[in-house]
Every structure is written in structure tokens, then in C-alpha cells.
Amino acid sequence: MIAQELEVSLHMAFVEARQKRHEFITVEHLLLALLDNPTAAEVLRACGANMDELRKQLAQHIAEQTPRIAQDREVDTQPTLGFQRVIQRAILHVQSSGKKEVTGANVLVAIFGEKDSHAVYYLQQQGITRLDVVNYISHGITKTPQPHQGKNEQESEQESDVQTANSPLDNYTQNLNALALAGKIDPLIGRDKELERVVQTLCRRRKNNPLLVGEAGVGKTAIAEGLARRIVEGNVPDLLTKCTVYALDMGALLAGTKYRGDFEQRLKAVLKQLVDNPNAILFIDEIHTVIGAGAASGGTLDASNLLKPALQGGQLKCLGATTYNEYRGVFEKDHALSRRFQKIDV
């Protein structure tokens, strides 16, 4: 039931408390032990924790606030009710979700149930919430906080590795440049004129979002792949030589979104990474599907409304593809979205 790495962390927490003759083992002892737990530490780094600062705060609190057992008394260290509740909460949550093992990450989530504890207070001081932790565990969505002072070089590298390995772009998009480099994209034949118009539109300062409109099977997706191949070959203007084309996987974005806000959280994380990277180009095949995608019944917030602010002012370069029927029947009716794109007939 309890994973081996968590057993080790719990054992170390008890050993530490006994050695220092603490009368109780608290939630703060537990969080301090989780800083050395592989799964919990990975989650904390991905959520932007300054591990050294957190360790220092917890150790200082435990040293100053935990009562000690007198030398002449032979009494064993006892877990507090809060400590017991956290472990029970983690076990119940894992059982209800159908999983077999309780890990350090599960215990970390359970700690947030002790809202009046100093452990939660110190986590919130670092800007870490229960939602951040759950988002990373469930969807691999990392936070991109402002860098903390005093973070050493090794920890910065570890945090960077965690964020890169689990970035929303890896989870919900496909890197077409990487496919081109791997030789998995065939040469584009007979669409040089349309591809030149796409390149010309992307080089604009504003309204730099090409929209490929044509019947099914004419090669709209192939043009996007051809663009990635050209970029890899260096056969594009200087403005686009460092660009990377990411194809949005709408199926992956929608898969497993049980609760309201899950889809929006994923898409916003993807868009944030794309906006932060001036050399990113987002390709959305069947772009008419973003209108209404992820909207709750009766709601108005869908993928298109999340896209509009990023497209405004040229913050994000976006290449779309759709058919004439869908363009006239769906896409063109959303005037705020359609006017941000330059239509290119294929």
C-alpha cells in the first residue's frame, strides 16, 4: 500500500524526531522529510519551490516550537493528530482513485488539508497551492515562477530538467521541426506558391497568422509540414530561421478533462509557453474545432476565447487549416477570431 520511497521518508522523519528527543512528530516533520523524497521533491521543484529556503524555515520552526522530552524520561515520540490525519487522507485518496501505492506526492497533496499548520503556511509563502501540486501530478503542468534568490546552480539545473521533461508543449503538441529532422516529413511538391504566402504572412509584424482554406485532401496539413521542413533546411527568411512549428493536439488537450477548468488550465499553459517563446509557431489543423472546444454547457469560455488575447498584437504566430464549408459555417461567424487571420486559398 505504502511505496518504499515513502516508507523510507516516514522512517527518517521518526528517526530525526527521536534523536532530537522531540515529544511529538508533526506535519512539519513530515514535510521536512518529503524534501528528500524523490516524487515529492520533483513536484515541489516543478511548482517553483526554493528547497533550501523551505528546509531552513521548517528546521527552524521545529527546533523552536516542538517540545522536547526530558533526559530523565523514557517516553517515545508520538505522532500528532494532524500527522495521522495527513497519512490517512493520502491513503483514502489513493484507494478512491483506484491506485495501488501511496507515494510522497500523494502525502504532499494531503498536507494541504491541514490548513492551520505551519507546513501549509510555508508552502503558501513560496506561492505553492494544492491546485499547483495536483495539476503537476495529474497533467504534468509546471509553474513558471519568478526565480528565487539564493537558489544554487545545481538546484536550478534540476528544476529546469523537471520543467523541460514535463512541459505542456511536450504533452499537448507535436514538434514538426523534430519530425523533419528525423526525416519523417516528405518533400512538399506543387504548393510552393501557397507556402510562399504563408512565409510572407508569418513575417508580418501584425496579423501574422495565415489561415489555409481548402477542400479536404488538397494538402493543407502538408503545407504546415513543408514549412517545418523548410525551416530545418534553412530555406526561409532570417526572421523565421530559428522558428519551431508546434502542431496542437486537440485530442490530448481534451482527454481526461473531468472537471470544469481542466481544459482551460492545459491550454493556457501551452499558450503561455508559446507566447514566452518568440520563435514558436502554433499549427492548428481543423481550426474550426477550437470554437466551442472545452466550453462547459451554457458557458462561453472555449479555446477560441483563450486564443484571441495571445493572437492580438502579434504575441503568438498561429497557422490554421480548415475547409470552405467549416470556414463559412463556423469560423467566419466568429468575427473577432477570423479578423486576426489572413485567409490563404489552397
Q: What is the DSSP string of 259-308?
A: STTHHHHHHHHHHHHHHH-TTEEEEEETGGGGTTTTPPTT----HHHHHH
CA–CA dist 9, 136 (Å, integer): 21
Residue 175's H or E segment, with its range, is: strand 173-175
Q: Cell match 514549412: residue?
A: 227
Domain-ending residue, one of 141, 163, 185: 163
Residue 12: HSE in the Cβ half-sphere, 13 Å Cα cutoff = 14
Q: The domain spanning residue 290 has which CATH number? A: 3.40.50.300
Tell me the CA distances in angstroms from 282 to 127, 225, 316, 317, one per residue in order: 30, 12, 8, 6
As a whole number, mean pLDDT of residues 264-292 equals 85
Q: Which of 239, 249, 330 is nearest to 282 (CA)?
A: 249
CA–CA dist 344, 346 (Å, integer): 6
Does position 68 have pLDDT exceeding 90, yes or no? no
Same domain for 110 and 193, yes or no, is no
Does 17 or 259 have the greater pLDDT score? 17
Query: How many other β-carbons are positioned within 10 Å of the β-carbon of residue 15?
Result: 12
Domain-ending residue, one of 163, 198, 219: 163
Does position 82 have pLDDT exceeding 50, yes or no? yes
**Do residues 164 and 50 make contact, with C-beta atoms less than 8 angstroms apart?**
no
Q: Which of 207, 81, 105 is nearest to 166 (CA)?
A: 105
Q: Which of 286, 340, 277, 288 is nearest to 309 (CA)?
A: 340
As a whole number, mean pLDDT of residues 138-147 equals 59
As a whole number, mean pLDDT of residues 231-252 equals 88
DSSP lists the bridge partners of residue 345 as: 213
- Residue 265's contacts (CB-CB under 8 Å, 6 or more residues apart) are 135, 139, 141
Which pTM value belongs to this model? Answer: 0.54
| pLDDT, position 297 | 38
Does position 161 have pLDDT exceeding 70, yes or no? no
Does 178 or 302 have the greater pLDDT score? 178
Same domain for 269 and 329, yes or no, is yes
Q: Which of 138, 124, 154 is nearest to 48 (CA)?
A: 124
Q: Which domain holds residue 134?
A: 4-163
Encode 38-72: b = buried (16+ Cβ within 10 Å), e = exposed: bbbbbbbbbbbbbbebbbebbeebbeeebeebeee
Length reported for the chain: 346
Q: Which of 311, 307, 309, 304 is nearest to 332 (CA)?
A: 304
Same domain for 135 and 240, yes or no, is no
For 296-310, write each residue's pLDDT tens digit: 433 444 677 888 888
Residue 242: all three cell numbers together: 530559428
Does position 151 have pLDDT exceeding 90, yes or no? no
| pLDDT, position 225 | 92
As a whole number, mean pLDDT of residues 159-168 equals 51
Same domain for 10 and 158, yes or no, is yes
Does 262 or 26 have the greater pLDDT score? 26
Domain-ending residue, one of 121, 143, 163: 163
**Number of domains observed in the structure of the chain:** 2
Does position 145 have pLDDT exceeding 90, yes or no? no
Helix (H, G, I), strand (E, B) or coil at 171: helix
Same domain for 216 and 332, yes or no, is yes
Q: The domain spanning residue 114 has which CATH number? A: 1.10.1780.10
